[in-house]
Every structure is written in C-alpha cells, then in structure tokens.
Chains A and B, each alone.
Chain A
Amino acid sequence: MKLFLFRGGIHPEGRKELSVDKAIERAPLPEVLHIPLQQHVGVPAEPVVEAGEYVRKGQLIGRANGVISASVHAPTSGEIIGVGGHTAPHPSGLPVRTITLRPDGKEEWDILPPPLDAMNETSQGIARRVEWAGIVGMGGAAFPSAVKLNLQEKYPLHTLIINGAECEPYLTSDDRLMRERAREVIDGVRIMHHALKVKRAIIAVETNKPRALSELRIAATPFHGIDVLGVPAQYPMGSERHLVHVVTGRETPSKGLTADIGVVVHNVGTAYAVHEAVRHGRPLISRIVTISGRAVREPRNIEALIGTPISHLIAFCGGLTEEPDKLMIGGPMMGQPLPSTDVPVIKGCNAVLALTAEETARGKAMPCIRCGVCVDVCPCGLVPLDMAALIRKEDLSAADGIGLNDCLSCGSCSYACPSHIPLVQYFNYAKGRMKIVEVEKQQQEVHKRLSEQRAVRLEREMQKKKEMLAQRKAEAEARRKAKEAAAGETSSDAPATAAAGTPTPTPPLKPVNEDAVRKTGHGPAEPPVEDISERASGS
C-alpha cells in the first residue's frame, strides 16, 4: 500500500524500552477512588448517586448530560462517600466535580445489559450501547465515541482508520494492548466497521512495534476489509489529521473534520472498549496506563480502574527513586504537567511519567536567531517563529491570520528550537486567550442588548407613570364636576353621588400598581424602602 508521508515532524528518542516488555498488570484496589464527572470533551455528567449509597461494579453513577457528554460508571463495588470537588488531572490544579467511592473489595458486578449480536445489530443500536458504556476517545482527546459512530448519516464515509501509532516517546500502553489483546481489538474494529458502514478499516501502527503488528495481522486474517498497516515512526504520526494524510493521501480541511473527506479515526483503546461494551455489556471502568520515566523505580503497564489515585499506581511501581523534575500525565510531547500525585486516572489518561532533570533537559530560553528549524519541523506547514513573535506582542489576531488555529500543539517546534524558546507554550496561551476573548465578545453583546432593553423598559415605566398621573387628574376633575353638579341639585342627593363617585378612582389604579411590581421587581414600593435604608444608615 502506498503511503503519503507528511513533511516536517521529528524523531525523538523513543525511550519505550523502559516499559515495553512489561505485561499488563492489575493494580490492587486503592483505598478510595475519585471519579471525576468530566473526563471528556463537552458537558460534565450529572451525578445520580448520593453519599452513603452502596453501588455495584459497573453501576451508572453519573449520567451523560446532552449529546456531547459521557456517562460515568462505578469502577468497583463499594460505598459512595461523597460527591464534591477534587483536584482534576489538569495543569491548572483546579477542582472538578468528583464522586468519591470507597471500595469494599467484593468486586460485585451490577446487572449488566446482555451482549449484542453485533454483526446483526443496527448502527444506532451499537452507538447506543457505546454511549451507555460512556466510551470516549482513549487516545487522549477524550471525545465521546458514540458521536463519532453516528457520522455515517451526515457524511459520506468510506474509511475507518484505527490509530495504533503511539508516536509519543515512553508510551507503551497501546502497544501492550495490541500485543496481548489483539483478537479483542480486532473484534472492536469489526464492530465499528459494521456500525459505520464503511468500505474498509485500516489499523495503522508504527513499524517500531513489530510484535503488535504481527499479532494484529494474525488476528485480522480471517476478516475481509480489515487491513493492518505499518507506518514509519515519525512524530506526530498519531495526530488524526497526519495519520489520515499518510494513509489516504488526503488533507483534512482547516477548521474541518476528517469526516469531511470521508474518514473516521478511532484509537485502538477505543476499539477494545467497544468490544467490551458490545460483546460483554461492560461499561468503560478501567484503562491501560503506562507508568514510566527514569524517576520511577519499576516502570509498568497497568490496567487501572478509572479514579485510581496516581500516587497509588506509582507506589505499585515501587515508588520514585528521586524527586522528579517533571510529573506528567500523557506523553512528554503533548502531555500535561500534574499539579500533584493525588489526582485520579481518567478515561483519556494513557500514561503517567515521572521524569528526571536529565530527561527533561531544560534549557534557558535565548533570543530567536531565525534559523528556521521550527519551520522545517512543523508538520502543519506553519511558521512558528513568526507566530510566537506576534503572540509575544499580543497581536493574537495576526497570529491567527498565519495559521495559529491549524497548530495542533504537537511541540515539535519547541523540541527542535536551538534557543529553547517555549514556542508551543506561546501557542497554547494564545489559543486559550482567543477562546476567552470570543466568549467575552458574546457576553458583551448580551450586555448591550440588556442595557438597551432596560432603557426601553424605563421609558415605558415613565410613560405609564405619566398616564397614571393624567388619569388621576382627569378623575379628580370629574369628581369636582360631579360635586359642582350635585351642589346644583337638591342637598339630599349630594352624599349619594359623592359616595358613588369616590370608589371609581381606586380600582383602575390598583392593577397598574401590581403590574409594575410584577414586571420590575422594584416598582412603586418606594415609601417602605426609603424607610429601611434611612434606618440602616442611621444605625
């Protein structure tokens, strides 16, 4: 099969040998599990359990909230000890809504839905099951997978690509999964292939994983339309857009989706999770995590329950040999620094790295010498040095004009820069900043509309007051006239007319008053108000 390589990219030292020969192991149950309600892109799930409740393994504890959301299930049986905030596995270290569960060690399963006869099931049926299982993209982006299994209705799809590239250094979790559970992965691919109704499915794996390739090839042999493809090891091969380019030769449009060119990409971990959900009715409650880095005594590949504290996994690996220079979640290129080891494993977490100073090799940032290395390595064809210079000057719209939003933050430029300029950090800042500016702009529109509406309302209230005044005047006039007329008549008639005349002015006034109070919340109730405030300021 012809490959269409992309320009740029880098070839970092793999350092996968630290954990590549370690078979997948299960860690013992931790004391507590912290299960965040947002482990995915989109809206957080809504908790459906309360503190003190007993839950069984696989029981729904957080319900998906809308289409772009994902359900959360209990990773083991035990007692819910709280629904509150806990530090998120996110560089900000901010708290996120989290369910805390104390395992009872019984591992008692909830009643699971029956296995599906996948090959005779409709696309919707499979997507519904995947949605139920709370499956999200396991490669790190954590986008709800069910949405991506329903694309065949909106886009003319022809190819499903399964991403087994695992191009980041250190990571071996996908490699181990493909080696040890190739049949299950292939079955997941078949299910997705069937659900998406595409012509072919291609599993792309970097050639630096020969064992995984051969295992997958053996497992895929009996099935028509499923191919296993070796792609060269080049970072960032695992980027969705780049992998699609390498396999199909087509470029995904800027601001577009790969579905625009008829391709859907899923990760191998997702394929495995789909197999588990469809064939066994098991929700996504665990994942394989590589614990690596030279500061870890004994790097391992662990099948960890979602919510397991990272400190527990590190302890299972024999602890740390030294204070790590950097603690990360995900790969060293695109991963995120961790605020502490107290954070839990989430669905999109493929690795935890504890790196020594020798490994991180930080350098002091020096001025840009315009050597152009970053331009050479940028796999998106951008000019990082110019973008960074513009961002430093806060000219974000100009940076956007030369392709900031096409940058995938792969970090190749920062890696290659001889001046150690934190280029990708500039781009991450600018992207975040621009999003906020956009939100603020929308907010300002709302503010503008509100203040205009307020002006109109004040005008209307003024008008109403005027009308009321006029009405009162007219009534007073009428009363006066009636009195005069009564004075002209016999004296015995006068009180009767006056009595009949007085009640009339009050009824029309009252509803007007009530209306004003209801509409504004603070209408004509002036007298008591002034009274209170005076008392308050006097005290």
Chain B
Amino acid sequence: MTEALLSLTVLGVTLGALLGLAARYLSVKESPLKAELTDMMPGTNCGQCGQPGCAAAADALIGGQAEVTLCPPGGRALAAELAKKLGIVVDLSAMEEHEPLIAFVNEDRCIGCTRCLRECPTDALVGGPKSMHTVIRPLCTGCEACVEVCPTDCIDMLPVEKTLRNWYWPKPASNQQSGNIAA
C-alpha cells in the first residue's frame, strides 16, 4: 500500500515537474507576424473570407492557405498592405474591387424579431422587440451576418449611395480617347 502510494506520488511529481519545465522552455511563441497581420485586418470578425475571424485569417495567410486578397471589406488597399508585409508581389490591378454593399431593412417586412441585432458585429442595427429595425449606414461593414438570420428576408444588401461627396472620376480605360484640346 505505502509502496504504491509512494511510487505514484513520485511519478506524479516528476512528470508534473517535467511538464512544467517543458511548458516553460519548449513553449511555441505565437508568431509576432500573426499579431501584426491581425492588427491590420478590419477586426470585425465578419467571416466573409471564410475563416472564423480575423486572427484565423491571419493564420491562414501565414500558412499560405489564403491569398492576400482574401478580405472583401479591406479591399485592394488592405491587399496591398498585406502583400507588402508578407513580401509578396501581386498584381492587384486584376483584383476585382468589390462594390461596397451595406444592409438595408425593408421596413414593411420587418417584424421586430431582434435576431439581426444580436448578429451584427458592429451594432449597426438598431431597434427593439416588436418594433421596426433599421441600419445606421456608416457603421455597417456589409458582412451580411444579418441577412442569413432574418426570418422574413427583409434585409437586402444594397450598394452605398453615390453622392457628390464620395463620387470620383472613373479610371480611364486603357484605350480611351483623350479629351484635351489640341491646337
């Protein structure tokens, strides 16, 4: 009886100490690159890239399972930054610049179920139980999380409204005629 107790105690203590030491000296440090990449990401964990959150996307990037163009909300600007960070040369002119979409609640169909409110990662949807919901437009990231849970399909993703404030000249097509005055 004493022997068994003793041997098990010794075994436990030694193995425990070994494990403790291993945890201390053989630990795998999380790559600082991952932290940096995660920081560059939009950080809303919207899941549009197909990864469970921005940290996982950073992991996938480092592991090479994903392209730098993975993040739709980040767009071309983020892709360029990521490529620079990772030292990859990519031709971003081919990257399709998505048209930014934001959620729109069709108010006549909204029943006030509050399901979308719980899903929204940026609290861009406001409303109360049994009363109509609506979207605070500048806060919407266009992640579509609310679209899936809506029981009445009342949320549509619409392009951001063009105004004089966000309009800019289109890029000239490569074979476009020039419009200057030649003497």
- Contact residues of A with B, CB < 8 Å? 12-13, 38, 88, 90-92, 94, 96, 169, 326, 332-333, 337, 355, 359-365, 391-395, 397, 411, 414-415, 417, 420-422, 424-426, 428-429, 431-433, 435-437, 439-441, 443-444, 446-448, 450-454, 521-522, 525, 528-529, 532-533, 536-537
Contact = CB atoms under 8 A, between A and B. Distances in A.
B129 A363 contact: no
A447 B44 contact: yes
A432 B172 CA distance: 13
Contact of B77 (A429, A435, A441): A441
B175 A364 contact: yes
Given A397-B80, A436-B168, A454-B123, A333 B114 contact: no
Contacts of B76: 394
A448 B151 contact: no
B178 A420 contact: yes
Contacts of B178: 362-363, 365, 414, 417, 420-422, 425
9 contacts: A359-B181, A429-B172, A447-B121, A447-B141, A448-B42, A451-B43, A451-B45, A522-B129, A529-B114
B168 A432 contact: yes
A362 B175 contact: no
Interface in B93-113: 93, 100, 111-113
B73 interface: yes
B166 A436 contact: yes
B31 interface: no
Contact of B179 (A362, A395, A453, A521): A362
Contacts of A536: 111, 113, 151-152
A312 B127 CA distance: 49
Contacts of B44: 447-448, 450-451
A87 B46 CA distance: 37
A450 B123 contact: yes
A90 B152 CA distance: 40
B111 A92 contact: no
Given A359-B181, A364-B177, A421-B178, A448 B93 contact: no
A392 B93 contact: yes
B22 interface: no
Contacts of A433: 168, 171
B138 interface: yes
B42 A444 contact: yes
A404 B93 CA distance: 19
Nearest to A534: B151
A454 B122 contact: yes
B181 A361 contact: yes
Q: Please give me the 5 A-B residue pairs with the lowest Cβ-Cβ distance, nearest first.
A: A432-B168, A448-B43, A361-B182, A450-B122, A522-B114
Given A362-B178, A439-B166, A451 B73 contact: no
Contacts of A424: 180
A169 B182 CA distance: 12
Contact of B164 (A94, A420, A533): A94
A143 to B, nearest CB: 16
Dominant secondary structure of chain A at its interface with chain B = helix
Contacts of A422: 172, 176-180
B121 A365 contact: no
Given A94-B167, A425-B172, A450 B129 contact: no
Nearest to A366: B175
Given A397-B80, A421-B178, A537 B168 contact: no
Given A332-B181, A536-B113, 5 more contacts: A12-B181, A94-B167, A361-B183, A391-B171, A536-B111
Contacts of B163: 94
B118 interface: yes
Contact of B170 (A429, A437, A529): A429
B139 A92 contact: no
B91 interface: yes
B91 A393 contact: yes
Nearest to B81: A397
Interface in B106-154: 111-115, 117-118, 121-124, 126-130, 138-139, 141, 151-152
A415 B166 CA distance: 28
Given A392-B93, A451-B43, A363 B183 contact: no
Given A38-B164, A422-B172, A444-B73, A521 B117 contact: yes
B47 interface: no
Given A451-B121, A533-B115, A437 B77 contact: yes
B29 interface: no
Contacts of B177: 362-365, 420, 422
A12 B45 CA distance: 55
A428 B169 contact: yes
A440 B75 contact: yes
Nearest to B138: A443
Interface in B9-63: 42-45
A342 to B, nearest CB: 17
A446 B80 CA distance: 21
A368 B127 CA distance: 57
Contacts of A360: 179, 181
A231 to B, nearest CB: 22
A430 to B, nearest CB: 8
Nearest to A363: B178
Given A94-B163, A439-B166, A450-B139, A13 B183 contact: yes
Contacts of B162: 92, 94
Contacts of A451: 43-45, 121-122
Given A88-B164, A429-B170, A532-B112, A447 B139 contact: yes
B121 A454 contact: yes
